[in-house]
Amino acid sequence: MAYFDAASAVPLHPVARQALQASLDEGWADPARLYREGRRARLLLDAAREAAAEAVGCRADELVFTSSGTRAVHSGVAGALAGRRRVGAHLIVSAVEHSSVLHAAEVHEAGGGTVTQVPVDRTGAVDPAAYAAALRDDTALACLQSANHEVGTEQPVAEVAEICRAAGVPLLVDAAQSLAWGRVPGDWSILAASAHKWGGPSGVGLLVVRKGVRFAPQGPGDERESGRAPGFENLPAIVAAAASLRAVRAEAAEEAARLRELTERVRARVPALVPDVEVVGDPARRLPGTVTFSCLYVDGETLLHELDRAGFSVSSGSSCTSSTLMPSHVLKAMGVLSEGNVRVSLPPGTPPEDVERFLEVLPGTVAAVRERLGAPVATEAVPETGGDLVVDAIGRRCPIPVIELAKVIGDVPVGGTVRVLSDDEAARLDIPAWCEMRGQEYVGEEPAEKGTAYLVRRSA
């Protein structure tokens, strides 16, 4: 089985396994106690903090260990907003942040705060100028990921940090996806990360708050971890997390170059092997092991199941893999195709032959799923005999509305329109994306008796 979902979790690094086993024997006592076993545990905790701080590029007393990366984000956002409540209650986030950041923003807004979402371009990157434009006199905090979890696009953190610093606004960086590959550049103020993203054990996060940042930890007070992460430290997991972070950093440069070559292979060959595919994300400024693409006329959940049966563990941002049947907020913000979305994220050590086998299996798998759904195939042109068409796709889910549109677009003359009726939220994203891919004109949407009518004008 080839595991291609490192963006979700990386298998436990051998160094992490060794450190975990060793610290289970040495690090079980309370590091706050003064007797011998407690002092031994404290030495282990202090060494882990020093190692993690060196990897991040911060002081050891600026870093605390939390119970997860999500907890680090939530604590970081809440503490920074509370610490600067006298300044105001305005929060800035990008439209493609991890759900942990967006959920924290929702809670802040529900409590009376205000939130500005900065849009991204079609590659998933923010424009630093948009962050500058979003800053206000009452801005308490800005958030920006170092790299996107779904498409791998790296963000201009250093530029945004400089803008925020000049305005006196702290910048919180979600570094979960990038920290294994190197330090986050720029003069950021707060950083959060998660150990299971770099090969450490799950249940360990990092929260860094730079000296000088006004920060007020929320919730009941606790003497542990400077009051920022209450509860007894999971010392064996913390030691393993720090040890594995140091280990992956030692291998990062060589492994990044190797994985980048493999993902370049996927980016170049998938569109040549599979028709009607859009590769998404920035082609250059991206994580070395991540490549994401979307396939027209494909049910994403079915495609992932078929790839799993073929021996490949991949993930998806497609609406069809969500219990809510909603498009990925990242793909939606980018304005790209969400149908049949596949994220390939290669863990360190991925053999090239696994990637080659994936490229051999993918075309036939996509073709079989398309055939099962009745996707359109090339046909002779239909004479232009006038008349607009209505496609009633009410009650039919991703990707059927787009498949039905593709089947009939040739039945109207150039300049004629097809009106697609759909009550699937994914159609709002996928029909315009299909038009851009196929050279047709998306006119817009209008209310219908049931659902929404999406208008497409044939221009090619």
3-state helix, strand, coil in the chain (%, to 5): 40, 20, 40
User: Pick the catalytic residue: 164, 295, 320, 435?
Assistant: 320
Q: Report helix, strand or coil for 345.
A: strand
Residue 434's closest CA among 397, 408, 406, 400? Answer: 406
Contact (Cβ atoms closer than 8 angstroms) between residue 89 and residue 169: no
Q: Which two tokens stand for residue 453?
A: 């009518």
List, as one string, the DSSP characters of 170-232: -EEEE-TTTTTT-PPPS--SEEEEEGGGTTS-SS-EEEEE-TT------SS--SGGGGTS-S-
Rg of the Cα atoms in the chain: 24
320 is catalytic: yes
Residue 79's closest CA among 228, 219, 208, 216? Answer: 216
List, as one string, the DSSP characters of 127-174: PHHHHHHH--TTEEEEEEESB-TTT-BBP-HHHHHHHHHHHT--EEEE
Number of H helices, E strands in the chain: 12, 16
Q: Which two tokens stand for residue 195?
A: 């150990």
Q: Which residues contact 353 (CB under 8 A, 6 or more apart)?
A: none
What are the residue numbers of the active site?
320
